[in-house]
Every structure is written in C-alpha cells, then in structure tokens.
Structure 1
Amino acid sequence: MEFTPKNRATVQNMPKLPYAVEEALNRLRVNVSFLGSKVKKIMVISSAPDEGKSFVAMQLWRQMAEAGSKSILVDMDLRKSVMVDKYQVVREDNGKILGTSDYLASDDTLDKYVLRTNIGAGDLLPNKENIINPSMLLEGQKLASTFEELDENYRYTFIDAPPLNLVSDGEKIGSLCDGALLVVRAGETPKAMVRNSIRQLERAGCPVVGIALSRAKGAASGYYHKYGNYYGKSYYGKGYGYYGKQGYYGYGTEPK
C-alpha cells in the first residue's frame, strides 16, 4: 500500500566527509545499484560492535537519496540506537520523534512514523526509545508486513541492524531482507568471526551481497588481500562477479 509520510524532519548533523571516504562510499553505492531490481531490502550489519555499520548504513542511504533513488533507512538496532542523537534528527514541527519500536508495538499506520527528510529522496524510520528485549516485536507478523509495505514504496530499504555476535536480532531481520552488506573493521575483526557471520546470514536465508572494510588504511596490505581473495572467490562467485576479484570496499576512518 502506498503512503506519504505525515511528518518532515531535518538531519542537522550530516558530516562533511574527506574526499577519499566519499569516493569509496560512492563506489559502494554504484556497486549496490548493480545488484539488480530484485535486491531492494539491504541489511547493513557487522559481526561485533564498533565496526562502523551504522556509519555505512547512514552514508549509503544518503548517497542513494542524493542520487535520486527513493530510499529509506530503517533503524532496527532497537537495543542501542544512536541515529537520532548522533545525526541530530529533528522534526520540523518540533514534535516528538516516534520510532521503529513505537511503531511495531502499536496499531498505527506506517505514515505516522516515517519521516520525510532534507536529504534528497530519502526518508527515515528512526528509533528513539531503546528496549531491552525486542524479540516479540521482531518475531511478530507486523515486521514482515512492514517490510513488504516498504518494498512497495521505496527503491531501496536500508536496515541498520545490531551486531550478529551479540544477539539473534540480525538473523531474524535478515530473514526478511534480500541481502546483507557486512561491515568489517580492517585489521581488527578476526576472520573466523567474519566467516561465522556469513554462515549465520546464510542460515537465515540472507545472502551477503557485499563486504565493506571500515577504517581501511590501504587496500594493498596483505590483510585486505586475504579478506578480498577469500570472500571474492568463495562468496562473490557467479552471482556477484561485478564486485571484481576482491569483493570488498575500503574506506577510511569514520569521522568523530
């Protein structure tokens, strides 16, 4: 069912990124667009905390929206959301922001919670109130129907999900998505942990459509090539050849 957001918001703290970081993210955007028309709901996730997945989700959404693709970023990190405060998301009427957890626990329609923003063709469904155990919300039929509704209204739905090795939320969310973009902190995240994350996502029926190396200092180092060769050959074979031989994207340090 088509809908129009009833509230508008301004993202007041969108950082100006260094040229190299912006270009790396732009390459990521372009390659995501090559995934085809059937890949619309993309979960952005990491294995562990502090790998930069929320940064990647926000910036990928921004770039898609600024390029004219109707996109929405959904904050599904319901236990520890930082989006509203970090990026200073403010409703234009100064009203209270009601987010994802509020919506899933209500009988309201989606248009009351989605925010039309000042970022190109981009909308947000943020989360304001963190909850200790969102399992019931994630297992309910409303989440599945919500994703179907977003699928009908947006070219891209990006989902910021909690780290895989902390809770099972990511697997539940991933089962409703077309694919996952796995964010890996270069030189820090153990390869065994990344392999395990990929297996978890595959079990959930959510294929890994890309790997983004965060805080990368140079794609030529042996560490990155080991990652690239492993994932390029093992996971970006026939279906994902457009990622090239490496199958990853590197970008620099996340702005403070």
Structure 2
Amino acid sequence: MSESRLPVEEAGTAPPTATLEYELPPSFVESPREQTFTDGLSSGGLNLSAVRRFPWTPLIDRLPSLLERGPAIEQFRSLRSRVYEARDIRPLKSILVSSGLPQEGKSFVSANLAVSLARHKNSKVLLIDGDMRRYTLHELLGTESYPGLAEYLAGKVTAEQIMQRPEENEPLSSVGHALSNLTFIPGGNGGDKAADLSGNPRFGELLRQVAPYFDWIIVDSSPVIPVSDGVNLARSCDGVLLVARAGVTKYLVAQRAAAELRASHVLGFVLNAVQENPQTGSYYGYNSNKE
C-alpha cells in the first residue's frame, strides 16, 4: 500500500490536505492514445462539430485549478501526478469520484481534477456530472445544466446533444486557455428516476463511444451510502476515487463507502479540507514552472 499526502483547497478555508492511497496492481504499459481529438466526423464515431459551445463563467473561488500559481494549484497537480502514477500500472481513463455521504467535497475535487488534467500536456478531458439528483458542476463552470446525462440515459437525446464546450472567444484569456481542452456533460434532471437511469447500460455505451476522443474521463457521482447511483455508474469506470472530509467524515462511513464499491477498482481516498498551513519557504512559494 502506497500513501501520499495531497492538499486540496475548499473555497473559504485554509489550504487543506488530502491523502490518496492505492494498491499496486500488476505492471501495465499504456497503449498510445487511440485517436486524435478533432471536430470532424469519424466513421462510426461522434460528430464533435455538433457539440454546442456556451459562454462559460466559471466560479474562480471554487476552481483553484484555473489559477496560474499558488498553493491550491500545486495541490491539484500533486493529485494529478498520483493519478498518472496509477495509470502507469494499469489501464485507467475513466475515473468516478464519489463519497460516502453528501457535503464531503466530491464535486469540488471532480471539477478541479478535470481542469488540472486538461491543463497538462494538452490533454483532452471529458467531465461528466453523474449526480443526477443534486447536479452542481454546471454551477461551478457557469453554464447550462440541461439537457444532460439523465436525458441521454433515458434515450431522449444523442451524446453530441448533451456535450458542451466553452466559447472560443473567452473574455478571460487565461481562464479560456485553461478550459479549452475541457468538454462537459451536465447532469440533466434525473430526479426520482436517477437510480433506474444509473443502472441503464447506455452509460457504459456512452463511455465506450467517447473514450477514443479523450485522454481522461472524470465522472462526479452521488454519494454511495444513501443511494445506489454511484455504485451503478462505477461498474463502467476504470477506477474510483473516494472523497472524505477531515473532521466530518467518520472512519466507519469511509469504510462503508469503500465496501459499497468493492466490485470496482478503488484507487484510494482524497482527504479534503484539512487545515494545514504550508511552512514558510516551502515549495508552494516556488511557482516559476508552467503547465
């Protein structure tokens, strides 16, 4: 068992600390990226030229990964590095992010991890809001929430119709550049049907359809203890990250969350919102490196 301390910042708090633990499975050498991301129509694939563009207005205070420097962006770079390490040892493209209970920071971690991955090596990232009951990722990105995953799983729309990208003429140039490699699928409106929709085989079909076009797919899901949605979605993903909140999440809750996902490959836990101030002269003060 390998352990790394990974700080993660929540809006309005001091820089916290997170821990990611994962078991080392048999060695794996990743195959090259399957297909170059283009806006053209590929035979039997997606028509990405049909993906709509919206004027995103992201909440900067909730998306520290959009910043150019500072403790928060370094913290998510550390988490990103651990995810890359996990991919070096087994196939890993689609990652579901969940928690045991609500209010532990899973959506915050999902969105910032996706942005951090999108800023690294020109990676193409698809962020999916799989929490069809309390979908919030559209609020962080400042965009529309409908139609989304719920409508796709219900068979009402196509994959192209639920995907969206930011407008190319983003007024905040640095933010626009940071989001240029990010594609988003909102949650839609699953409501009381979310449990049934999450068990629909169309979700697995969606991941297989979009996988050739993206380097990473990050799925935010409902907490796994109160409802079964996240457990259902996790079966189609390559790995799972669980989020726990320092001082709030009880050990038994974290233990039960991991048990609920025993049929999936749990990469580890991210411990969110730990109050830990970096020491003076630490690496956080050295921000000359670019993405």
TM-score range, shorter chain: 0.7 to 0.9
Cα distance per residue 1:116-156 (max 9 Å; x no partner)? 23513110001232412222222222112112112222111
The answer to whether the aligner puts 1:76 opposite 2:130 as a matched pair is yes
Number of equivalences: 213
TM-score (norm 1): 0.77
Contact 2:151 2:157 in 1 (8 A): no
Question: What amino acid sits opposite 1:6 in the alignment?
Answer: V
Question: What amino acid sits opposite 2:147 in the alignment?
Answer: L
Question: What amino acid sits opposite 2:79 in the alignment?
Answer: L
Contact 2:146 2:189 in 1 (8 A): no
The answer to whether the aligner puts 1:174 opposite 2:174 as a matched pair is no
The answer to whether the aligner puts 1:108 opposite 2:153 as a matched pair is no
TM-score (norm 2): 0.68
Which consecutive residues of structure 1, in runs of 5 or more, have no partner in the other structure? 91-95, 221-256
Residue 152 (structure 1) aligns with: 212
Contact 2:164 2:184 in 1 (8 A): yes
Cα distance per residue 1:62-97 (max 9 Å; x no partner)? 11112221110101100111122343115xxxxx84
Contact 2:239 2:266 in 1 (8 A): yes
Q: CA RMSD in A?
A: 2.1
Residue 194 (structure 2) aligns with: 134
Partners of 1:200 and 1:120 in 2: how far apart?
A: 35
1:53 Cα offset (Å): 0.4
The answer to whether the aligner puts 1:30 opposite 2:90 as a matched pair is no
The answer to whether the aligner puts 1:12 opposite 2:57 as a matched pair is yes
Residue 250 (structure 1) aligns with: none
% identical equivalent positions = 24
Which consecutive residues of structure 2, in runs of 5 or more, have no partner in the other structure? 1-43, 167-175, 279-291
Contact 2:97 2:220 in 1 (8 A): yes
Question: What amino acid sits opposite 1:106 in the alignment?
Answer: G
Residue 51 (structure 1) aligns with: 104
Contact 1:48 1:164 in 2 (8 A): yes
> Is the partner of 1:22 in helix, strand or coil?
helix
